[in-house]
A and B are shown apart, each in its own frame.
Chain A
Amino acid sequence: MMDSPSYMLSKIAEKDNLTVYELFFGPNHPGMHGNFGYVLEMIGTEIVKVRPNAGHLHRGFEKLMEQKLWVQNIALVPRICVADPDPNEVAYCTAIEKILRVDIPDRAKFLRTITLEMSRLSSFLMGMGALAAAVGLYTAMNIMTADRDLILDLFEWLTGARVYHMFSIPGGVRNDLADGFVERLYKVLDHLEKRLIEYDKLLFENPIIHKRLKGLGYVSKEDAVKYGLTGPNLRASGNPYDVRVDDPYAAYPYLDVRVITQEGGDALTRAIQIRLEFEETINLIRRALKTMPEGEIRLNLGNLSALKVPKGEAYAKVESSKGEFGYYVVSDGGMKPYRVAVRGPSLPAGLLLAQKHLPKMKIDDVAAWMASLAICPPDIDK
């Protein structure tokens, strides 16, 4: 029925009597996280060349945001990253607040911080689960997915939605914590902390993951900065940089954020980096809950549907679980943004590092390599 001649495998050349063939790694591939693809040129099981095939998730966000009101875009922005949606909302709102030159109430900052860190926890659980599944440790993945649901339940209680929360709005947050939320959150954090012992046994002390990931996808300290890596990937190469400390937003100036760095820079170090940051995030939420002040949760900016942002531009960035999420917002003084440009954290790893690392790698390691760099296709494609 199809008039296209090519399917999964096609021979393209011969080299030293060996066949070079093309293999489509993704989008429909069990090792691929999300709808993304690499076209691999291979000899046997060894990759010789790679062509990233992005764009399966391209929805034209940057164009759509120009068509909608400032506040309508709140519904659109979290959809850029499914696994970790809250940094998008906060970055977008922070950029607007920068142009408006307003300072939001302290309690709103703390509420944003708490949702950001909860989102980070859920994203880390998903990332660790994906890594476990990529090396065949499905039990760890199952447990982590179940634990992630505890956080999603809390999100549902707080915001009404499991995945896309739309919690931050220009000027603050949508609603305050319900009675009993804090106690429940403490319980979940305690549970997750206990679970860490189990994760260690199942995943991080497992000889399989050590053998599979040791030395895979090495990034040196200088290269990590040069290639534009951010977040845990940068810190796993020994660079003590974190947007939460360097360019603080929300309530991070009031909190003591501990930056964890490791030397190493290979996939195993990155995996352990996520595990260490997971533990630190739990402590950070506890500290935030303890120091959270009472008070207003949002500024009165009038009718938000009629919000007009003065002429100007601002770049706001947020440390998401994968790295720097940035929003560059340009306003011409109207009801709609003139231009919103999004900086996703996965692009340097997903496109540039793929071309550096994948050649000479065996095909079995590609899925683990992707999971260790926490490549999230939607924010590459936008």
Chain B
Amino acid sequence: MEDLKANDKRSYIDNLIDFFRKRSIWMLHYCTGCGAVELPPSMTSRWDIERFGIVPMATPRQADVLLVTGYVSLKTLKRIIKIYEQMPEPKWVLAFGSCTVNGGIYWDSYNTITNLAEYIPVDITVSGCMPRPEAVIDALQTLMEMIQSGEGGAYKKYKENYEYYKKNQDRVLRKTAPILGSSETESIYQEKEGNYET
């Protein structure tokens, strides 16, 4: 209970809330890329991240953590942003593998983004291609420490710098149209687009 003591920045209640919060992280069940193949081993008996109170959750509305497991194609990026904005605060983002930092092995691909942090704020990046379950657990434990100490606040950055993120998102996503919805919405999207060089 030593770490719950109040200091000049955080009250005892803040610390207590974060203590409970870090012990029940629900992560969104969304396999965005190949890193997701190492999640079943992490979740089941061998590594068993459930002992830290981490469980998969099907819907973004109840999830705390978004795991971006590897490369992000433009189509996926759109879904990730949609999902990220649906998640209630406080929320955190874990980016897996080198693909989310600089594009990794797909750095010169025409359909995958290179740096995820330009589009949504990322709390932790996990190294490796692909990250081993130990690395995943290490990242989640670091996240728990960050939550306890009140550091994990990248989601606040998203609100403060919304213009910046929105600008970057629009720059790459202007090329995409909604899959769902009527053809009318699609034509609205196309009108907005204008010409795009490259």
What is A's interface to B at a CB cutoff of 8 Å? 1-2, 4-7, 10, 12, 22, 24, 27-30, 32-35, 37, 39, 53, 55-60, 63-64, 67, 75-76, 79, 82-83, 126, 129, 141-142, 145-146, 148-149, 152, 162-164, 378
Contact = CB atoms under 8 A, between A and B. Distances in A.
A39 B83 contact: no
Nearest to B184: A5
Contacts of B23: none
A5 B185 contact: yes
B159 to A, nearest CB: 10
Given A29-B58, A59-B73, 5 more contacts: A27-B79, A35-B31, A35-B33, A142-B45, A152-B41
A2 B109 contact: no
B46 interface: yes
B76 A57 contact: yes
Nearest to B107: A64
12 contacts: A2-B82, A6-B185, A30-B56, A39-B180, A60-B111, A63-B109, A64-B109, A146-B45, A149-B41, A162-B38, A163-B38, A164-B129
A312 B73 CA distance: 33
Among A22, A28, A56, A149: residue with most chain B CB under 10 A: A28
B119 interface: no
B180 A22 contact: yes
A323 to B, nearest CB: 19
Contact of A129 (B40, B46, B56, B180): B40
Interface in B183-198: 185
Interface in B8-49: 28-34, 36-38, 40-41, 44-46
Contacts of B31: 27, 32-35
Contacts of A67: 108
B105 interface: yes
Contacts of B185: 4-6
Contacts of B132: 162
Contact of A146 (B34, B44, B71, B110): B44
A30 B71 contact: no
B179 interface: yes
A163 B130 contact: yes
Interface in B52-74: 56, 58, 60, 71, 73
Contacts of A27: 30-32, 76, 79
B155 interface: no
A126 B36 CA distance: 13
A145 B43 CA distance: 9
B36 A34 contact: yes
Contacts of A378: 34
B112 interface: yes
B180 A55 contact: no
B30 A59 contact: no
Contacts of A7: 180
Q: What 5 A-B pairs have minimum CB-CB distances, sorted nearest first? A: A6-B181, A30-B58, A28-B30, A82-B34, A6-B180
Interface in B103-154: 105-106, 108-112, 129-130, 132
Contacts of B129: 164
Contacts of A148: 41
Nearest to B58: A30
Nearest to A162: B132
Contacts of A152: 41
B47 to A, nearest CB: 9
A141 B76 CA distance: 27
Nearest to B158: A1
Nearest to B36: A34
A35 B32 contact: yes
Contacts of B181: 4-6, 10
Contact of B178 (A6, A30, A129): A6
Contacts of A126: 37, 40
Contacts of A141: 40, 44
B164 to A, nearest CB: 14
Contacts of A146: 41, 44-46
A63 B110 contact: yes
Contacts of A1: 85, 162
Contacts of B40: 126, 129, 141, 145
B178 A56 contact: no
A283 B38 CA distance: 27
Contacts of B45: 142, 145-146
A146 B133 CA distance: 13
Nearest to B180: A6
Nearest to B170: A3
B44 A142 contact: yes
Contacts of A34: 31, 36
A59 to B, nearest CB: 5
B79 A28 contact: yes
A6 to B, nearest CB: 4
Contacts of B109: 59-60, 63-64
A56 B46 contact: no
A234 to B, nearest CB: 25
A130 B82 CA distance: 27
A4 to B, nearest CB: 6
Given A28-B60, A35-B32, A56 B41 contact: no
